[in-house]
Chain A
Amino acid sequence: NAFAAYNSAAFSAKSVADALKGMGATSPTESKDIAIKAPEIAENGAVVPVEVTSKIAGTTNIAILAEKNPNPLVADFKLENGAEPYVSVRIKMGQTAMIRAVVTAGGKSYTAAKEVKVTIGGCGG
């Protein structure tokens, strides 16, 4: 099996703090070198596009968390052999929340977040 053992502890965590603990990234440093591209208002809470780009040298991992999901950790990527510090996925969000990216580089953890609003909609000019 080419896969590392699935990190059940982190994925089943019910809080951001526990998820970070499960990932071994307890108190990541806030970084402006992580760009999160996601819509300010989700078109569909079941399909929220999220792109994370890290400018931190030596980035090896990018994780994505949706802070108010029952299990906040959504995905954890290991990037190697020329893969750029970039991932793009679409995720589910039940309600308005921060999307948090956690980047690992040189054995250290860094983080950034962006708010995505989930709304009922239905008005307009």
Chain B
Amino acid sequence: MAEPMKIRATVTGDTADIKVLMNHPMETGQRKDPKTGQLIPAHFISEVTATLNGKTVMEAEWSGAISKNPYLGIKVKGAKAGDKVTVTWKDNTGESNTADATVS
């Protein structure tokens, strides 16, 4: 199964700075295996959501041109220490992962 995400969420004033590192190969489907010469099948995160205290703040659609082990940074106003951030991704094969963090 997918490895856990790393989330760092810090608040300055009332704005939460949310940084996420995900584990994923992000294969475009256009790259050839250097050994076999065969195309490596597409395998990438296609959809990501982020919520703050259960309310959706970001919904994203991605292509395979997001770098391997993706990074995501967003900022949310109206946040405070102790708020709960949840990030969920789903990839083109149907695999998914979700992780929580507390704003500090």
Contacts and interface: CB of A to CB of B under 8 A. Distances in A.
A–B touch (CB < 8 A): the answer is yes
Interface of A: 2-4, 6-7, 11, 46-49, 51, 66, 69-71, 73-84, 86-93
Given A2-B56, A83-B74, A88-B74, A66 B65 contact: yes
Contacts of A91: 65-67
Given A2-B56, A4-B59, A75-B60, A84 B65 contact: no
Sorting the interface of chain B by its residue count into under 10, 10 to 19, 20 to 34 or 35 or more gives 20 to 34
Interface string B37-48: 000000000110
Task: Kindly name the residue among B50, B63, B66 whose own CB sees the greatest number of chain A CB atoms within 10 A.
Answer: B63
B76 A84 contact: yes
Interface string B70-83: 11111111110000
A3 B94 CA distance: 13
A7 B28 CA distance: 16
Interface of B: 15, 19, 26, 28, 30, 46-47, 49-50, 52, 55-63, 65-68, 70-79, 90
B56 A80 contact: yes
A51 B79 CA distance: 21
A89 B71 contact: yes
Contacts of A11: 61, 63
A90 B61 contact: no
B63 A73 contact: yes
B99 to A, nearest CB: 16
A88 B17 CA distance: 11
A71 B60 CA distance: 17
Closest 10 pairs between A and B when the two form their complex, measured CB to CB = A88-B73, A84-B75, A83-B57, A90-B67, A82-B78, A78-B59, A74-B65, A82-B77, A77-B60, A47-B67
Contacts of A51: 73
B67 A75 contact: no
